[in-house]
Amino acid sequence: MSDWKAKRFWKDAAVVAVEDGFTVELDGRRVKTPAKRPLTLPTRAMAEAVAAEWQAQEKQIDPRTMPVTKTANAAIDKVAVQKAEVVEMLAAYGDSDLLCYRADSPEGLVARQAAEWDPMLDWAAQTLGVRLETREGIMHEPQAPEALAELHRRTAALDPFELAAFHDLVSLTGSLILGFAALEQAFDPAEIWALSRLDETWQAEQWGRDDVAEQEAEIKRQAFLHACAIIVLCKAA
């Protein structure tokens, strides 16, 4: 039984407009989520991406080749039903944001963090209206309550599909600010990812590469880029 896989039973996957957005039909039968909820998508672009994944399936369905469908299912079955908890978890990153905790040595790392991370904090101040303060070392120091409240408000304003992608943008980078930068498409995704890996890149430059660590980092990078692609689909006209 463990080798059983669902088989393709349809000829055509088509995008159909519905009352609250768009859905995908397989030979006229609407796709549902694993929890049997209607797969209602916010934009035609996302629906087309989901339909393309279903259409690309061959004899057996391989969920590993359906990342957009997987994210949409998560948005509907998980994020939408526990949105308050997800918002709380993600907004909490603002009080321990990666960009705010700086090394006190060596000088080269201190200078690089300032040169590459300070502009992102400046961007947040100008665009999000939030100024987070930096700290030396790893001991937690709380940020200003009004700054955290604004970050929480902005996080809570996201719809379940945006929030599903935002979860990965934030958790993979360790930074609420970098997550918002990716959400707003303010910078190239590759640049944002590189900023989140600044410390690891520095260590590799000093001590050499770790193949296992780099393989793990590549898996995370691909997941981050997928989340960025989901945001594009969410914002498409």
**Which two structure tokens, joined as six digits, stand for 31?**
């796709």
Give the pLDDT of residue 138: 83
Give the pLDDT of residue 93: 97
Q: Say how far apart CA 42 and CA 165 lie, in whole Å.
A: 14
Give the pLDDT of residue 3: 47
What dotted CATH number matches 82-235? 1.10.3580.10
Phi, psi at 226, each rounded to 5° = -65, -45
Q: Say how far apart CA 119 and CA 115 lie, in whole Å.
A: 7
Residue intervals in the chain for CATH 3.30.2180.10: 1-65
**Which two structure tokens, joined as six digits, stand for 186?**
């303010």
Give the pLDDT of residue 5: 63
Angle, CA of 62, 72 and 190, to the nearest 5°:
90
Q: Say how far apart CA 182 and CA 128 lie, in whole Å.
A: 13
Tens of pLDDT along the chain (237 residues) come to: 344 468 888 899 999 999 999 999 999 999 999 999 999 999 999 999 999 999 999 889 999 999 999 999 999 999 999 999 999 999 999 999 999 999 999 999 999 999 999 999 999 999 999 999 999 988 899 999 999 999 999 999 999 999 999 999 999 999 999 999 999 999 999 999 999 999 999 999 998 888 898 999 999 999 999 999 999 999 996
pTM (predicted TM-score): 0.94
3-state class (DSSP) for residue 177 = helix
Residues 6+ apart with CB under 8 A from 4: none
Give me the amino acid identity at 194: A
Residue intervals in the chain for CATH 1.10.3580.10: 82-235
Q: Is the dihedral of CA 159, 162, 165, 169 positive or negative?
A: negative
Domain 1-65 has CATH 3.50.30.60: no
Q: Say how far apart CA 235 and CA 183 lie, in whole Å.
A: 10
Q: Say how far apart CA 223 and CA 225 lie, in whole Å.
A: 5
Give the pLDDT of residue 237: 67
**18, β-bridge pairs:** 21
Q: Are the C-beta atoms of 42 and 234 separated by less than 8 Å?
A: yes
